[in-house]
């Protein structure tokens, strides 16, 4: 692992304020509840395409995004989620109703029914939707970080990768560029034990993903990905290192994917007992215990947060479920980046029906 002791950035994060503690709890609960409702919609056949859940690893998305400057006006930090980072998108400002519309391919959802799950962007809020080809978003986000550096903007980019994604060429090219150019990029490796059915032991021969940080000449840090406070503290160190011009960090979160790759996968390849071992390390339960035993919170305060989350998500669900499916005609819009989608010279003299 790269040495973390020598620079200023290694200073410890001070004790979090009570507001932040409850805020983190809110985001963890919101992520879990939105995904619970999505699973319910999936079983009712209302979700188009796959549903990839982050059950048991919510602390990773939440703890990392909490370290960023989240602004809605296009001046904040920017992240690119992988499929299990719904929590990070919510924190950057994606509305639960929009997420549900997107999963249900509704006409007034973020992509108007063209794409599904977390494949959408909002540059103002600071998230860049991933494309399916694993690894390439590291290069894209290295480019975003390069633009910050060239323009002299005090902004940081963060990109999520699964353990499987680290085995792609795109991951290495992107990370190497970021390292060489000392770009303000945080690369979060969510080591959740599996890439579809392939265990991490068959993904890499290294003992830890952070061992690779030395090979790139960058900072590496490995933390318990199911401890939201630890993830937040490590993320702040990585973000401050990037802001100070120190270049990228490879931040490895050790966690576990408690469900199959997607809802259709009953994970028959997982050894008996493994899931229940990790259930005992559930990040939300653990944080709840910490809040009550160490964080000075009352049970009633936590219940009020859960109640607020239940209400917000139920409201989002009813908005999303009553939203329309796309107009069939809209399928030809935007194909060639034409603002009205009507490209007269491609249709041999047909008239624009809107003009007829
Ligand atoms: C280049 C490429 N290869 C294969 C796939 C198919 N695929 C999608 S997700 C996935 C597993 C990803 O595993 P990991 O990176 O560990 O993320 P996790 O699902 O565990 O969060 C695979 C193989 C793809 N999308 N892109
Ligand atoms: Mg994985």
Q: Tell me the CATH number at 134.
A: 3.40.50.970
Question: Does the C-beta of 77 come closer than 6 Å to ligand 1?
Answer: no
Whether residue 80 has its Cβ less than 6 Å from ligand 1: no
267 found inside a domain? yes
Using a 6 Å cutoff on CB, does residue 194 contact ligand 1?
Answer: yes
Q: How far apart are CA 27 and CA 96, in angstroms?
A: 12
Tokens coding 72: 């809605």
Residue 199 lies in a domain: yes
Residue 120, burial from CB neighbour count under 10 angstroms (0-12, 13-18, 19+) = buried
- Give long-range contacts, CB 8 A cutoff, 24+ apart: 328-332: 330/107, 330/112, 330/113
Work out the burial of residue 252: count CB atoms within 10 Å of its CB; fewer than 13 is exposed, 13-18 middle, 19 or more buried.
buried
What stretches of 227-322 show up as alpha helix (H) in DSSP? 228-243, 274-279, 283-293, 299-321
Is residue 119 one of the residues assigned to a domain?
yes
Q: Which atom of ligand 1 is nearest to the CA of 190?
A: 21
Q: Does residue 268 belong to any structural domain of this protein?
A: yes
3-class secondary structure, 199: strand
Tell me: the pLDDT tens digits for 63-93? 999 999 999 999 999 999 999 999 999 999 9
Whether 179 lines ligand 1, by a CB cut-off of 6 Å, is no
Interval between CA 66 and ligand 1 midpoint (Å): 25
Query: Does ligand 1 come within 6 angstroms of the Cβ of 109?
Result: no
- What's the whole-model pTM score? 0.91
Structure tokens at 160: 């999520």
The response to whether residue 257 sits with its C-beta less than 6 Å from ligand 1 reads yes
Closest ligand 1 atom, CA of 163? 16
* Beta strands across the sheet bearing 157-162: 78-80, 157-162, 185-191, 249-254, 219-224
- Consecutive H or E run containing 216: helix 211-216
- 196 CB less than 6 Å from ligand 1? yes
Residue 7's pLDDT is 32
Pocket test for ligand 1, best of 49, 61, 139, 164 (most atoms within 8 A of CB): 164
Low-confidence ranges of the chain (pLDDT < 50): 1-13, 343-350
CA nearest to 82, candidates 203, 253, 249, 281: 253
Instruction: Give residue 308's domain range.
Output: 8-325
* 288 Cα: distance to centroid of ligand 1 (angstroms): 31
Determine the number of helices (DSSP H) and then strands (DSSP E) in the chain. 11, 7
Residue 120 has phi, psi (to 5 degrees) of -155, 160
Kindly provide the b/e burial profile for residues 66-102, where b requires at least 16 CB atoms within 10 angstroms of the residue's own CB.
bbbebeeeeebbbbbbbbbbbbbbbbbbbbbbbbbbb
The Cα 157–Cα 176 span in angstroms is: 15
Residue 341 located in a structural domain: no
What pLDDT shows up at residue 213? 98
Torsion angles phi and psi, residue 258, rounded to 5: -75, -20
In a domain, 353, yes or no: no
* Token pair recorded at residue 150: 């060239």
- Establish if 207 belongs to a structural domain: yes
For residue 1, the model assigns a pLDDT of 33
Give yes or no for residue 258 CB within 6 A of ligand 1.
Answer: no
pLDDT computed for residue 17 by the predictor:
77
Task: Give the integer Cα–Cα distance in Å for 216 and 182.
Answer: 11
State the burial class of residue 277 (Cβ atoms within 10 Å of its Cβ: 0-12, 13-18, 19+).
Answer: exposed
The protein residue whose alpha carbon is closest to atom 12 in ligand 1 is: 195
Position 330 scores a pLDDT of 87
d(CA 209, ligand 2 centre) in Å:
12
Nearest of 38, 57, 17, 13 to residue 283 by alpha carbon: 57
Strands of 213-355 (E only): list them: 219-224, 249-254
CA distance 330 to 146: 36
Which atom belonging to ligand 1 lies closest to the Cα atom of 261?
19
Q: Choose one of 159, 190, 195 to mutate for the ligand 1 pocket test, by most ligand atoms within 8 angstroms of C-beta.
A: 195
In a domain, 93, yes or no: yes
Cβ 267 under 6 angstroms from ligand 1: no
| 109-128: pLDDT as tens digits | 999 998 888 899 999 999 99
Which ligand 1 atom is at minimum distance from the Cα of 170? Answer: 1
Query: How many angstroms separate the CA atoms of 277 and 99, rounded?
Result: 31
**Distance (Å, whole) CA 190 – CA 251:** 8
Q: What is the total count of domains within the chain?
A: 1
Rounded distance between C-alpha atoms, residue 327 and residue 310, angstroms: 31
Tokens, residue 320: 């999303």
Calpha distance 28→35 (Å, rounded): 11
């Amino acid at each position: 692992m790269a040495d973390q002791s020598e620079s200023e950035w290694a200073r410890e994060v001070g004790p979090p304020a009570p507001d932040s503690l409850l805020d983190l709890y809110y985001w963890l609960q919101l992520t879990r509840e939105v995904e619970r409702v999505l699973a319910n919609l999936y079983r009712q056949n209302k979700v188009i395409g796959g549903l990839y859940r982050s059950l048991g690893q919510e602390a990773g998305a939440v703890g990392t995004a909490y370290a960023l400057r989240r602004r809605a006006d296009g001046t904040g930090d920017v992240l690119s989620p992988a499929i299990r980072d719904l929590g990070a998108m919510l924190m950057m400002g994606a509305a639960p109703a929009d997420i549900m519309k997107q999963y249900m391919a509704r006409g007034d959802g973020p992509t108007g029914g063209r794409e599904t799950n977390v494949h959408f962007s909002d540059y103002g809020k600071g998230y860049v939707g991933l494309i399916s080809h694993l690894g390439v978003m590291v290069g894209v986000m290295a480019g975003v970080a390069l633009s910050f550096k060239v323009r002299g903007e005090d902004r940081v980019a963060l990109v999520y990768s699964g353990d499987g994604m680290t085995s792609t060429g795109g991951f290495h090219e992107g990370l190497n560029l970021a390292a060489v150019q000392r770009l303000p990029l945080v690369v979060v490796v969510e080591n959740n034990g599996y890439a579809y059915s392939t265990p991490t032991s068959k993904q890499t021969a290294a003992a830890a993903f952070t061992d690779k940080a030395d090979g790139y000449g960058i900072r590496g840090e490995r933390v318990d990905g199911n401890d939201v406070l630890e993830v937040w503290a490590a993320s702040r160190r990585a973000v401050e290192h990037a802001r100070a011009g120190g270049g990228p960090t490879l931040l490895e979160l050790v966690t576990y994917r408690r469900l199959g790759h997607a809802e259709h996968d009953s994970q028959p390849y997982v050894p008996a007992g493994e899931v229940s071992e990790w259930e005992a390390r559930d990040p939300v339960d653990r944080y709840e215990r910490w809040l009550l035993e160490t964080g000075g919170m009352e049970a009633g305060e936590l219940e009020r947060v859960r109640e607020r989350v239940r209400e917000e998500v139920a409201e989002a669900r009813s908005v999303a479920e009553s939203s329309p499916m796309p107009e069939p005609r809209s399928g030809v819009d935007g194909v060639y980046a034409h603002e009205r989608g009507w490209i007269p010279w491609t249709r041999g003299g047909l008239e624009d029906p809107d003009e007829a």
